[in-house]
Structure 1
């Protein structure tokens, strides 16, 4: 499933948009937009997908998505009459301008770099962050804008956070980023079809044996394992969405054999796709 571009309706009088929402379910498709987005959950339980990775959300969760990072929220459909209450903050990176080059903004700049992988923050109850979010919602103009870098600074210093799309993080932190970035692009463009070790090695300008050693050194997995795990992570999203049967999902994410898809899924997740779908549907 390809992400859909979402045009954010910006108010020209405000560089930082703050919008509260109360929902019974999410109806926004898998999407991306150039604006940086912060989503804080006051109420609600479910899953969030960032490209090929998945984490849960619950009351008190906060997410930061960098520019053009595809993401999707799915509520837990086993909870009847669920109330989802969120606060969404959106702003363009250029709103921070040259401030990001100042030494005082080092933490903010680091946070913005990590946001390209998507970040989840938890255990915010005893921090100042919820209070700042409420103030930003109720303020306008310069008062709201000046709280943005302070919020980002506190988030960077918060100890309870995880990168969601760790695949992208591993690739970009490689000692030889250019080769792996090119291979990464090839995999992301073709993972749901044919992904060839020969083609990947050629893209890296290496012979197959050298490339296999190189790839495993930097990802700690063989090339085949890495591609399969990416396919499995994407299949998890499709299993929870529930619109396709298991056989169709296997083919959709690039496996040519349903038994092989089930075998690889069990290797990666420890349970079968059917068990995974049932576990998430009944909230076990």
Structure 2
């Protein structure tokens, strides 16, 4: 799947950019990349996070830093009508960061802290709780005060030990093209993940032979079609395990598995936990908050 190139606008009077989106019922899948670092704070969301070759369930709040040219997106809906999605995004370039560290050597730890951002970095709930009010304050701050707030945010990120997300890196993306064949395939899988893999239908959507589609899909996603579908299904299952107390057998069937043993095997392969262990661990963490 080819990621689309996104142009990030920065005002002439500023050296970085801040964006906010209020009261969204959903964020659609929009696989894209850009040369800037992106710090994304996503609030009140349930669905999936896609960072490079990483796919995982999101439920609640998310704070992720993506490095330059790393494809990423969220495909999420609001937790409920009373808790709509809120998005806060900070963009800055590697050149900006390098020049900042050159002028202010005290900031050099930032370069070290963000060295793994090419994999995408997921920050802890504790850091998110500290960053969120600072980004909220940015909404009505003057340009100078907003810059001060940015430094506070970056300091908090540097003090955390984030979790790398994508095993692969994407430092040299393919130049953007108009071809959307694989995007159609991916969207079809997103919409029909609970159905058997229909290679003939996918090949028709891509206007490719089945062999060419499989080869092209693996080249651009670093996953086979079946592996990608398994990732989608398990991510949906994680969401269901987090949200409620449905029997695991019901969840397995709902996300496309007709045999519980196969579901359990795939779940443990991808998450390194059984479904029941995953649910128990999440419940323990929830009880702590």
Normalised to the residue count of structure 1, the TM-score between the two structures is 0.60
Assess, with a 3 A threshold, how the Cα gap between structure 1 residues 38 and 80 changes in structure 2: closer, same or farther: same
Give 1:279's match in structure 2, choosing from 237, 244, 269.
237
Please list, as runs of the form range in 1=range in 2, the aligned pairs for 1:188-227 lying within 5 A after superposition.
none
1:55 counterpart = 2:56:
yes
Assess, with a 3 A threshold, how the Cα gap between structure 1 residues 33 and 168 changes in structure 2: closer, same or farther: closer
Whole-angstrom CA distance in 2 between matches of 1:273 and 1:127: 29
Give 1:241's match in structure 2, choosing from 187, 190, 196.
190
| Alpha-carbon contact 1:49-1:73 (below 8 Å) kept | yes
Please list, as runs of the form range in 1=range in 2, the aligned pairs for 1:76-87 lying within 5 A after superposition.
83-87=84-88
Unaligned stretches of 5+ residues in structure 1? 170-180, 190-236
| Alpha-carbon contact 2:3-2:32 (below 8 Å) kept | yes
| Alpha-carbon contact 1:240-1:277 (below 8 Å) kept | no
RMSD: 3.8
The more displaced of 118-127 and 61-70 is 118-127
1:20 counterpart = 2:17:
no
Assess, with a 3 A threshold, how the Cα gap between structure 1 residues 132 and 73 changes in structure 2: closer, same or farther: same
| Alpha-carbon contact 1:52-1:165 (below 8 Å) kept | yes
Q: CA shift at 1:103, angstroms?
A: 4.2
Q: CA shift at 1:59, angstroms?
A: 2.6
The more displaced of 96-105 and 63-72 is 96-105
Assess, with a 3 A threshold, how the Cα gap between structure 1 residues 127 and 114 changes in structure 2: closer, same or farther: same
**Where does residue 65 of structure 2 map in the other structure?**
64
Query: Secondary structure of 1:58's partner?
Result: strand
**Where does residue 107 of structure 1 map in the other structure?**
109
**Where does residue 155 of structure 1 map in the other structure?**
157
**Where does residue 255 of structure 2 map in the other structure?**
none
Assess, with a 3 A threshold, how the Cα gap between structure 1 residues 273 and 60 changes in structure 2: closer, same or farther: closer
| Alpha-carbon contact 1:36-1:67 (below 8 Å) kept | yes
Query: Secondary structure of 1:87's partner?
Result: strand
**Where does residue 95 of structure 1 map in the other structure?**
96
Q: CA shift at 1:154, angstroms?
A: 0.9
**Where does residue 122 of structure 1 map in the other structure?**
124
Assess, with a 3 A threshold, how the Cα gap between structure 1 residues 275 and 241 changes in structure 2: closer, same or farther: closer
Unaligned stretches of 5+ residues in structure 2? 175-185, 203-209, 219-223, 242-250, 252-289
